[in-house]
Structure 1
Amino acid sequence: MSDTNIQSVVQQMRTLAQSGRAGGGEAASGMPLVDGTAPPNELNFAATLKDSIRAVNALGKASGELQTRFELGDPDVSLPQVMVAGGKAGLAFEAASQIRNRLLTAYQEVMRMSV
Structure 2
Amino acid sequence: MVGKTHLRKGDEVVVLSGKDKGKRGKIQRVFRREGKVLVEGINLVKKHAKPTKDNPQGGVIDKPMPLSVSKVMLVCGGCGQPSRISRDRNPDGSLVRICKKCGHQIK
TM-score, with length taken from structure 1: 0.23
Instruction: Please identify which structure carries the higher strand content.
Output: 2
Q: Which has the larger radius of gyration?
A: 1
> Which one scores higher on RCO, CA 8 angstroms, separation ≥ 6?
1
TM-score, with length taken from structure 2: 0.24
